[in-house]
Structure 1
Amino acid sequence: MANLPLKPLTHALGSAVGYGVSRLRRPRADHREEEARRVLECLVEAGPIYMKLGQLMATRSDLVPAEWVESLRTLQDDGPHMDEVATRAAVERELRAPLNSVFREFDPTPVASGSVAQVHRARLIDGQEVAVKLVKDGVPEHIERNLRLMGRGVRAAERLVPAVAAADGTRRFTEVAHLFRSQADMILEATRQKQVYRNFAGHPYVRVPRVVPELVTPRLLAMEYMHGIRGNEAHRVDMEPARLARRLQDTIYTMLYMHGVAHGDPHPGNILFSESGELILLDYGITVELTEDEKWGLSSFYYACTRKEWEVAARRFTEHFVEGRERLRGREKEYTAELVAVLEHHFDLVSDRWSTVGYFRDVSAVLRTYGARYTTSFTKVELVFLSCEGFASQLDPDIDIWRNARKFTDRYSPYMSREIRARFDERFAEQIPGSLRMRDRADRVLVAPTHMHRYFFPSTYPLFVREARAGRVTDVDGNEYVDLSGGYGPHILGYAHPVVTEAITSAATAGPVNAIGNEPEVEFAELLVDSLPGAERALLCNSGTEAALTAIRLCRAHRRRDTVVKFEGHYHGFSDQGMVSSWFRFTGDKHAPEPIAGSLGSQRAVVKGTRVLQYGDIGGLDRLRAEADDLACVVVEPLPSSTATLDREFLTALRERCTEWGVPLIFDEVVTGYRVTYGGAQSLVDVQPDLTLLGKIIGGGLACGAVVGRADLVEMCRSTEDPFLDYEQRAFAGGTLSGNSLTCRAGAAVLRHLRDNPHLYRELEEKTERLRDELIESTRKRGIPCRVGARGAIFSLNFSHRSAGVYRDRMAGSNFKATIALAYYMRRHGVYIPELHSFLLSTAHTDDDLAVVGKAFDLSVAEMADDGFFVT
């Protein structure tokens, strides 16, 4: 069939009718092989769209006869192709150059040929081996003719058949037609392939060919040649079929749930395997792209199903993936009950015999009953699931699709599974019984959102500390731990450092003073102003959150504007503004994020009045140019603690734009101030903000915050001595305990000690680098995907193969469960780190402390690997 020509659809239909008549004349039961041959011929003659249907059918051995599957598999990589003369002419036409001027070798016989394109093996002049994907002559035109014909049929059916009209047939067909047309666009395919390549860079077992960008044209795409075993020959792979099938399913789910860009056609012809079981993903003619909101919806829906919270699952599914919800008004109760029955049946009662076809069929029936329908995006997801399930079932006929899906969803949720929790319950009941009793006692009277009842990531096994000294803490059970929390940052000198203890004791003996002028307040402000480049004034408050609130108010008053610019993933305290787009919920395009509330209860107007950009995206800054006159300020973490990265080029560009537009620039150095160096991160990059937010370290372990910077901005809260003018031209700032003598004396003692001992920063950086390298080596030698960022005693650890990139990319694919569990494993080995939070070193940590941390981490990741936290 190598040179079988493409024939008109009418010819194919005629062949099918002719075969049907012959079967009526000879109604025997042993014609399966002839059926398979005729079906294959009809699909090939009908053209690429129908061949694509045949490729999908070839993965559904549970739905079509085995003889059909065997015959249709040839469509996956052994379809009709152009002859040698036509192939050479097409390549030279696309490259606009003789073949031998680009390739040292070019095999005109394709190594694979699908419904749209054929793939050739070649070698470039420089010796690089490449695969050349070439769209077959006539295919784009053939696709267009068939789509026009099919479109007319759909439109006619929509007029005549109520069910087609109710399903919005024309619009859905238009979406599908777009997918088919894009398959013949190699420039678009190259863009998609490069995106998936970046998403899987560093992955332990998924490989994507690298595109050769200079050899991409509308109908030709050259890429790295990858050797592998064809999907239909997976029995040659040296890996258990069940494990190989799980890898396939996990890969597709990772693309859908985490990356939001998924291979849309994962049939055996588009996937190779290495002998050791690596997956090589080919052909990006069809991809499925989900928005951040759709990813959230998909994950939250399936997570509710894993917890058997059926009504919650029904609500989430309806909210994110059902159109025509207005037709449900007044019938929500009945609709929900029917949908819940379907969910419970498939996800619980028959989950060990999971059928994607049956699940979608039953959900569709419920939606049709109430005049609703799937969204287009979920229809695409359905096709990916169907193809993935078909191929995975071929690899492992006994695969438990839902059990694997449940494990996947569980791995990326922040909460422990029943099995893991039971294991830790037993271990910690023995190790920290006193802390657990204190936890239960506290639960009856206290809500502690900072350390026990943490938003998103509650602590199941919190410690209650009896004593803290130097770099260690001792809990109420007498267990000692090397502490890497540092109180979320304040204790850079460790606990109970003599200079701090003496300062607090003397201030307490003299009588703590607040809301009255005192000398420590003035001395403290002098130290703050002298320490930061270009600073002129300081305003004291009680926390980093207060500092951010106050600074933004001062800028709004100064500019007489309301709009605030911040960056995705950056946290500026727990105010409505500070939390916008700061957690793990994002929306909008990655390169043009839209603001979203960080918490229920946030004021909608505040969220709407925030512009969100990506840290490190210099091009994105120009989005602000058109609305620069409406901006009150820009606030940024110059060294985000969540990634421990510092981008000098970006911060320089940001400073230049803000100066050009006259918009105040605020650096949030609540974490980094006096930790990375005495003058903060701004000193490392030599970029001077208009205002700096400070907290944590400057309080010496006591509650404190400050806004430091330009005099004209800070003095927006200084009285004019005219109450009417104050109301017209000044902003209010206050706080009964702001500038109290106890905090100011402690903070001043810490700052003076750090200023007078610069060697402490050199030693901290050396310890940081040493520990970082040790942590990286522990995961590397075990093949565990893990990213460790570290700078200035700040550590960011993420169990993922993906590099930092923009914040949402870092979060996509993060193994939250493993990161949280790491904290509990480390506690078993004498190290305290907070669940899913950056951890920190102090000057009090000794070499012995670092040795304990390194050993504890090595033991912990080994135990976690044995306990199944990492997919292999």
Structure 2
Amino acid sequence: MLWQAIGAVRDLGRLHEIAGVLIRYGFGDLVRRIGMARTLERAGKALHWREPEELARLEPPARVRRALEELGPSFIKLGQILATRVDLFPSEWIAEFSKLQDDAPALPFAEIHAQLTEDLGEAPENIFTELDVRPLAAASLAQVHRARLADGCAVVLKIRRPGIRPTVEADLRLLARLAEIVEAETPDLRRYRPKEVVRQFTLSLRRELDFAAECRNAERVANQFKAHPEIIVPRIHWQWCGERLNVQDFVEGISGRNLTAADAAGLDRKLLARRGAQAVLKMMLEDGFFHADPHPGNVFYLPENRIAFIDFGMVGRLPEERRVQVAHLLHGLVTRDTETVAGVLLDWGSEGESSSDVELTRLNSEIGAFVDMYHGVPLHRLDLGVMLSDLVSILREHGLSLPPDLALMLKAFITLEGMGRQLDPNFDMAAEATPFLKNILLAQTTPDALARRGWRALSDAIGLVTSLPKDLRQFLRAARRGKLQVQVEVLPLKQFGQQIDRAASRLALSIAIAALIVGSAIVMTVERAPALAGLPSFGMLGFIAAVIGGLWLLVSIWRSGRSE
């Protein structure tokens, strides 16, 4: 089965490499269960199933993280996406995925010079008065070099690695096939929704490969902060930017990882924490377009307690309806409004899911008990990030997942609060979020907002009424022609029918085998029949066919028993 699913022989070498890494890190059983071992054996590859002793002592999250690191750029990026899915993975898995660092050996500048010349339209030496051939940083998709323009402006060049797109596309094809196989062959892994995760990852990675899209993201965020001089977004130099090249202002500041240097520079940690939180909350709750990876490496602290954000390859989008839901949720947490929190989470967790009334009632009860547990806790002692993590874990325990845009927002929110508490141990995220939440909720009660929602509802109602005669006419026409069909699918009955069908097929095969044996025994008694090894040939062929059919029947029954 897997051989047909793989299809493309060009990816077989990469498949063997993936299987080898999984086996080395103790996931040989997974390789067997999804059929990769059988495929590789057919291709003539020898697998060694023994697990190194030093890896046997690692916990499963650490093993997976190490395996992703060894598998290379695409899989490191996949791990970084998984780190955002707080609704699918427990905290220990999220912590391991968050350790994945996108570092890679730098390419010699001579190997990227030709591509850089092609993207710039002329040799870089003709454009930049200074160009450092030593990279500032190197990652799996790109490396960054510092340069200076003719007007003296310091810039950085983010250059995509030559030939990286075909490699990434091959990995994406392989991941899509493996996700289908895992979802079909391993029921215990379906709760992690591998196909949906790979789909989200594919969209994210393809956007990240397009540096022009990253430039547009940065410019959009910069426009959002035109009236906020304390927030800096590097200026984009569009005349040299494209799909493979991003040229932007160089940020001279203190990395968010170096708090000691921030103290030495006399910066106000409490003010930095407040400004950073307000900036990200504004992006999320006011603008609906936010930096989805605000970790310390993407933040710089500048003189006068200004903050610069870089690297807008991963962004999140929240439409107005989502922002209102987020406001209701966070405001409900801050004010201990149990019914509001439970209602919003049930709406989110049930999108695309089918849950029984009993399950939803139980989930509602658990959420209510959790929120009630924080009743009376002073606002400054309320750890909003921990509360959100615990609430999402309740959804996860019930097999419900959040929509991808919300999962990205929650991960960014939790990361933001962690950064705030690193800067200021008394940082109060709930207090910073409350004004934004109140503004969103108040905006929903203004006359303009009420009129807009009323007009939208009226338009939908009018559209439904005007289309009703046409829909009814089509319904009656189909009924008169005898083409009206009502399809009711009951999954337990469907599975029962499949079992009956398999049983009937085996019974028919058993009867055919019995007939072959009886017929062959009769033929063996016929005199003067053509002989084979001294025995009647037709009788021997009948017995051989019966043996093959019997073996096939036994193997089929054995496989069915294992799968069940």
TM-score using structure 1 length: 0.42
Contact 2:25 2:63 in 1 (8 A): no
Structure 1 match to 2:310: 282
Structure 2 match to 1:597: 453
Per the TM alignment, residue 219 of structure 1 is displaced from its structure 2 partner at its CA by: 0.8
The 1:140–1:210 alpha-carbon spacing in structure 2 relative to 1, beyond 3 Å, is same
Q: 2:306 is matched by which residue type in structure 1?
A: E
Between the aligned partners of 1:157 and 1:239, the Cα distance in structure 2 is: 51
The 1:245–1:154 alpha-carbon spacing in structure 2 relative to 1, beyond 3 Å, is farther
Between the aligned partners of 1:603 and 1:41, the Cα distance in structure 2 is: 50
- Counterparts of 1:693-842 in structure 2 under 5 Å? none
Where 2:234 maps in the other structure, the secondary structure is coil
Structure 1 match to 2:9: none
| Equivalent in 347, 358, 366 of residue 338 of structure 1 | 366
| Equivalent in 173, 176, 183 of residue 208 of structure 2 | 183
Between the aligned partners of 1:355 and 1:605, the Cα distance in structure 2 is: 38
Structure 2 match to 1:239: 267
Where 2:453 maps in the other structure, the secondary structure is coil
Structure 2 match to 1:101: 126
Structure 1 match to 2:502: none
Question: Which runs of 5 or more structure 1 residues have no equivalent in the other structure?
Answer: 1-5, 417-452, 458-578, 586-594, 611-872
Contact 1:346 1:354 in 2 (8 A): no
Structure 2 match to 1:489: none
Per the TM alignment, residue 288 of structure 1 is displaced from its structure 2 partner at its CA by: 0.6
| Equivalent in 129, 133, 136 of residue 154 of structure 2 | 129
Between the aligned partners of 1:162 and 1:378, the Cα distance in structure 2 is: 26
Between the aligned partners of 2:22 and 2:354, the Cα distance in structure 1 is: 41
- Counterparts of 1:553-564 in structure 2 under 5 Å? none
Structure 2 match to 1:90: 115
Between the aligned partners of 2:345 and 2:63, the Cα distance in structure 1 is: 41
- Counterparts of 1:379-398 in structure 2 under 5 Å? 379-396=407-424, 398=425
The 1:21–1:454 alpha-carbon spacing in structure 2 relative to 1, beyond 3 Å, is closer
Q: 2:458 is matched by which residue type in structure 1?
A: A
Contact 1:49 1:180 in 2 (8 A): no
Paired-residue identity, %: 21
Structure 1 match to 2:72: 46
Between the aligned partners of 2:383 and 2:365, the Cα distance in structure 1 is: 21
The 1:280–1:374 alpha-carbon spacing in structure 2 relative to 1, beyond 3 Å, is same
Between the aligned partners of 1:182 and 1:292, the Cα distance in structure 2 is: 23
Per the TM alignment, residue 303 of structure 1 is displaced from its structure 2 partner at its CA by: 1.3
Between the aligned partners of 2:51 and 2:305, the Cα distance in structure 1 is: 43
Structure 2 match to 1:251: 279
User: CA deviation digits over 1:361-382, x for unaligned, max 9?
Assistant: 553444653x643122212223
Per the TM alignment, residue 206 of structure 1 is displaced from its structure 2 partner at its CA by: 1.2
User: CA deviation digits over 1:682-725, x for unaligned, max 9?
Assistant: xxxxxxxxxxxxxxxxxxxxxxxxxxxxxxxxxxxxxxxxxxxx
Matched, 1:217 2:245: no
User: CA deviation digits over 1:421-469, x for unaligned, max 9?
Assistant: xxxxxxxxxxxxxxxxxxxxxxxxxxxxxxxx99948xxxxxxxxxxxx
Q: Which deviates further from its counterpart, 146-155 or 297-306?
A: 146-155
The 1:454–1:390 alpha-carbon spacing in structure 2 relative to 1, beyond 3 Å, is closer
Between the aligned partners of 2:354 and 2:55, the Cα distance in structure 1 is: 49
Question: Which runs of 5 or more structure 2 residues have no equivalent in the other structure?
Answer: 1-13, 27-48, 464-564
User: CA deviation digits over 1:113-133, x for unaligned, max 9?
Assistant: 334222211122343321111
Matched, 1:142 2:173: no
Between the aligned partners of 1:36 and 1:604, the Cα distance in structure 2 is: 51
| Equivalent in 192, 197, 203 of residue 222 of structure 2 | 197
Matched, 1:292 2:320: yes
| Equivalent in 259, 262, 270 of residue 298 of structure 2 | 270
Q: Which deviates further from its counterpart, 284-293 or 339-348?
A: 339-348
| Equivalent in 392, 396, 405 of residue 363 of structure 1 | 392
The 1:245–1:24 alpha-carbon spacing in structure 2 relative to 1, beyond 3 Å, is same
Per the TM alignment, residue 208 of structure 1 is displaced from its structure 2 partner at its CA by: 0.3
Where 1:314 maps in the other structure, the secondary structure is helix
The 1:36–1:319 alpha-carbon spacing in structure 2 relative to 1, beyond 3 Å, is closer
User: CA deviation digits over 1:263-295, x for unaligned, max 9?
Assistant: 112222222111443211111111111111111
Per the TM alignment, residue 261 of structure 1 is displaced from its structure 2 partner at its CA by: 0.8
Structure 2 match to 1:488: none
Per the TM alignment, residue 304 of structure 1 is displaced from its structure 2 partner at its CA by: 2.0
The 1:68–1:334 alpha-carbon spacing in structure 2 relative to 1, beyond 3 Å, is closer
Where 2:311 maps in the other structure, the secondary structure is coil
Between the aligned partners of 1:455 and 1:299, the Cα distance in structure 2 is: 11
Where 2:257 maps in the other structure, the secondary structure is helix
Between the aligned partners of 1:406 and 1:175, the Cα distance in structure 2 is: 33
Structure 1 match to 2:344: 316
The 1:263–1:9 alpha-carbon spacing in structure 2 relative to 1, beyond 3 Å, is farther
The 1:81–1:269 alpha-carbon spacing in structure 2 relative to 1, beyond 3 Å, is farther
Structure 1 match to 2:54: 23
Matched, 1:354 2:383: yes
Per the TM alignment, residue 196 of structure 1 is displaced from its structure 2 partner at its CA by: 0.6
Give the structure with the higher percent strand: 1
Between the aligned partners of 1:366 and 1:108, the Cα distance in structure 2 is: 50
Between the aligned partners of 1:13 and 1:252, the Cα distance in structure 2 is: 38
Q: 2:76 is matched by which residue type in structure 1?
A: Y
Q: 1:133 is matched by which residue type in structure 2?
A: K
Between the aligned partners of 2:190 and 2:77, the Cα distance in structure 1 is: 27
Between the aligned partners of 2:20 and 2:370, the Cα distance in structure 1 is: 42
Where 2:237 maps in the other structure, the secondary structure is strand
The 1:414–1:46 alpha-carbon spacing in structure 2 relative to 1, beyond 3 Å, is closer
Between the aligned partners of 2:386 and 2:251, the Cα distance in structure 1 is: 33
Contact 1:119 1:131 in 2 (8 A): yes
Between the aligned partners of 1:93 and 1:187, the Cα distance in structure 2 is: 16
- Counterparts of 1:205-604 in structure 2 under 5 Å? 205-237=230-262, 238-319=266-347, 322-324=350-352, 327-329=355-357, 332-345=360-373, 352=381, 354=383, 356=385, 359-360=388-389, 362-366=391-395, 369=398, 372-396=400-424, 398=425, 400=427, 403-414=428-439, 456=445, 582-583=448-449, 596-597=452-453, 604=457
The 1:379–1:79 alpha-carbon spacing in structure 2 relative to 1, beyond 3 Å, is same
Per the TM alignment, residue 216 of structure 1 is displaced from its structure 2 partner at its CA by: 1.2
Between the aligned partners of 2:277 and 2:82, the Cα distance in structure 1 is: 16
Per the TM alignment, residue 604 of structure 1 is displaced from its structure 2 partner at its CA by: 3.5
User: CA deviation digits over 1:768-825, x for unaligned, max 9?
Assistant: xxxxxxxxxxxxxxxxxxxxxxxxxxxxxxxxxxxxxxxxxxxxxxxxxxxxxxxxxx
Per the TM alignment, residue 333 of structure 1 is displaced from its structure 2 partner at its CA by: 3.7
Per the TM alignment, residue 603 of structure 1 is displaced from its structure 2 partner at its CA by: 9.0
Per the TM alignment, residue 55 of structure 1 is displaced from its structure 2 partner at its CA by: 10
Contact 1:318 1:325 in 2 (8 A): no
| Equivalent in 180, 195, 198 of residue 173 of structure 1 | 198
The 1:141–1:120 alpha-carbon spacing in structure 2 relative to 1, beyond 3 Å, is same
Structure 2 match to 1:757: none
The 1:174–1:97 alpha-carbon spacing in structure 2 relative to 1, beyond 3 Å, is same
Q: 2:166 is matched by which residue type in structure 1?
A: E
Contact 1:55 1:267 in 2 (8 A): no
User: CA deviation digits over 1:515-548, x for unaligned, max 9?
Assistant: xxxxxxxxxxxxxxxxxxxxxxxxxxxxxxxxxx
Q: What is the number of residues matched between the two proteins?
A: 417
Between the aligned partners of 1:314 and 1:290, the Cα distance in structure 2 is: 20
Between the aligned partners of 1:132 and 1:93, the Cα distance in structure 2 is: 14
Give the structure with the higher percent helix: 2
Contact 1:304 1:313 in 2 (8 A): yes
User: CA deviation digits over 1:469-494, x for unaligned, max 9?
Assistant: xxxxxxxxxxxxxxxxxxxxxxxxxx
Contact 2:156 2:247 in 1 (8 A): yes
The 1:164–1:415 alpha-carbon spacing in structure 2 relative to 1, beyond 3 Å, is closer
User: CA deviation digits over 1:541-597, x for unaligned, max 9?
Assistant: xxxxxxxxxxxxxxxxxxxxxxxxxxxxxxxxxxxxxx5xx23x7xxxxxxxxx842
Where 1:120 maps in the other structure, the secondary structure is strand
Contact 2:385 2:413 in 1 (8 A): yes
Per the TM alignment, residue 341 of structure 1 is displaced from its structure 2 partner at its CA by: 2.4
